[in-house]
Amino acid sequence: MPRQDVLKELNLWPVWRQRAAAAPELAEGLDTAAASANVTENRRDAILRMDWSELKASVSGCTACRLHETRTQAVFGVGDEQADWLLVGEGPGAEEDKQGEPFVGQAGRLLDNMLAAIRLKRGRNAYIANAVKCRPPANRNPEADEVAACEPYLTRQIALIQPKLIIALGKVAAHRLLGTDSAIASLRGKLHQCQGITLIVTYHPAYLLRSLQDKARAWEDLCFAVRTMEGLQSATREP
């Protein structure tokens, strides 16, 4: 996009003209901001057009946020690329960073058990991904700018998979997918929408490992998800 159009889109064009007249060096700063917005937009558009192999290559070489500096490898996601179920976590932990697969540590074992309880298995009609693809150092939560930088990858994964149901595991995933900052307690037990797909929120398995009293609630959420999926599958089944 030409600089003038980018500045217009950002509502900066009148400001730029004013500043260019008064102080050329200030206008340069605006040029830089517009250029970087331009790069970000082009990057997002390009990612949203990628096929699976382009997307995987792009994630593994990505340097779009500071998390690339400390990762061992990016963790793309795993499972059935035509799954009805998509489970979305927060970001890789130490074990995931080492192995390159999501949810393979302690929280992952609990997630596998939760999946088994509803007769699912990673790789069989289920796909597992994270809001950010690189491990935040010392297992801190990803920052908002990191989640934003990683947004196009998960958006593209959702568009390619076209699952029937998305399960957001925990606060970071729910906030990223729903664009809200409401508490998990108020998001659970309801049907939401993300990219035109039905979405249910539940607790993160790592949180459940620490907070046993919420395991019963997580079980309710899974039963709600199974009932919802049955409805969605019968709605799309051939008569």
- Contact set with ligand SF4 (CB under 6 A): 59, 62-65, 67-68, 74, 132-134, 146, 149-150
Cβ proximity to ligand SF4: between 59 and 222 the closer is 59
With 0-12 / 13-18 / 19 or more C-beta atoms within 10 angstroms meaning exposed / middle / buried, residue 72 is middle
Distance in angstroms (rounded) separating the CA atoms of residues 134 and 63? 10
Question: Is residue 77 within the footprint of ligand URA (CB under 6 A)?
Answer: no
Residue from the set 130, 165, 176, 208 that interacts with ligand URA by CB under 6 A: 130
* Closest by CA position to 210, among listed 91, 107, 118: 107
Cβ proximity to ligand URA: between 9 and 112 the closer is 112
Residue from the set 80, 84, 90, 146 that interacts with ligand URA by CB under 6 A: 90
CB of 175 to ligand URA, least distance (A): 13
Question: Is residue 84 within the footprint of ligand URA (CB under 6 A)?
Answer: no
Helices assigned H by DSSP within the chain: 3-9, 13-22, 24-47, 52-60, 94-99, 106-117, 144-161, 171-178, 184-187, 205-210, 215-236
Give the interface with ligand URA as residue ranges (CB under 6 A). Answer: 89-93, 96, 102-103, 105, 107-108, 130, 206
